[in-house]
Amino acid sequence: MASFDTRTVHAGRQDLRKLGVHAPPIDLSTTYPITGLEEARASIDRMMEGAEPDENPIYSRLHNPTVARFEAGIAQLEEAEAAVGFASGMAAMTACLLAARQRGERVVAVRPMYGGTDGLLSSGLLGVEVDWADAESVGAAIGPQTSLVIVETPANPTLQLVDIEHVVAQAGDVPVLVDSTFATPVLQQPLRHGAAMVLHSGTKFIGGHGDVIAGVVATSEAFARELRVVRSLTGGILHPRAAYDLHRGLQTLSLRVHKAQEGARLLAGRLHEHRAVGSVHYPGFQACDPKGLVGRQMAGPGSMLAFELVGGFDAALRVMEAVELITPAVSLGSTDTLIQHPAGLTHRKVDAEVRASHGITDGFLRLSVGVEDAEDLWQELGGILDGLSRA
């Protein structure tokens, strides 16, 4: 098998030579001419069961060739049998929960996790009941109606790492879904460690430029069929233009992740030494990785970090208002560096006591390091922190 970096360049492009093109085409058709009714009937019967079409895709909500090409690329990088693309990361998570609901009405979820996922699980909107657990008590939380275990590692926003193999062992026959958005396939492939499904918000590192919203789940063909049925019934299809951008993003994914990771290492070290900073959360620090998962489960610590300011909310407010080179914005994984305030933004709807129990305080900031020169980033951020110290 070719190296991972080589596969990022060629993944999902195996049919291009046969098509006689170098760049993947974009198929914007919403519907497809039916050449033979019997063949079309057979094709739609297959797709209604979650399988790929025989010949004619019939209608783009059921199948689109450009989306399928991106899905094939992600499946190859995650070493999965299949992948299913969605209109957003939350649409992907919703589909996973609706599919699981057909097997049982309860899920076990490990906090902390992305605030949107936490809010969806807490709402009961989908008829799914959640049993919250920590990574060590997943097994105790599983009951006869448990249909799915959900973990996020590294976790949003604290960068807490979860031992996937340990969770899978506790889960037994219950499938485990890992949100691996922060790690990307470059640094972590959860299916290798026993997970049944791996979810990515494609909006983040996979898109990589802050201009596309998407989600994707890599899994077995059996689970993929369940997800395709949900997607076709609920309409959460990924648009082909977005799929094209995401597929193009795969070619530079490894380059971007490794470059941003270099910058994060430098910034994490300097933040750790700064007197305006009370604590730094970064998987590259031994204290943040007591089980030694970086090197065993993850190929590197990544480019996400978080830090808590000594001055609390007032200090966080000053940092957010003072940055210029760094963009004050939610989301992550873009080529430019983003900083945000989880307690006030992405995790604002999470119960305050739950936030506090996981260290998401009012002085807590999350940093998504981009591909800029890290010294330039530190000149700005360090200067702002120096001002806080003097104050």
Residues annotated as catalytic (active site), given as ranges:
61, 114, 179, 204
State the DSSP code for 191: G
For residues 179 and 215, the answer to whether their CB atoms sit within 8 Å is no
Which H helix or E strand runs over 244?
Answer: helix 240-273
Contacts of 323 (CB under 8 A, 6+ apart): 339, 380, 381, 384
Cis check: omega of the bond before 144, within 30 degrees of 0? no
d(CA 135, CA 20): 50
Name the token pair of 270: 């300097």
Name the token pair of 367: 């940093």
Token match 């996922």: residue? 117
Rounded to 10°, the helix 374-390/312-322 angle is 140
d(CA 254, CA 299): 12
d(CA 225, CA 216): 14
d(CA 292, CA 231): 38
Rounded to 10°, the helix 221-234/37-48 angle is 110
Residue 351 CB burial class (10 angstroms; 0-12, 13-18, ≥19): exposed
d(CA 113, CA 119): 10
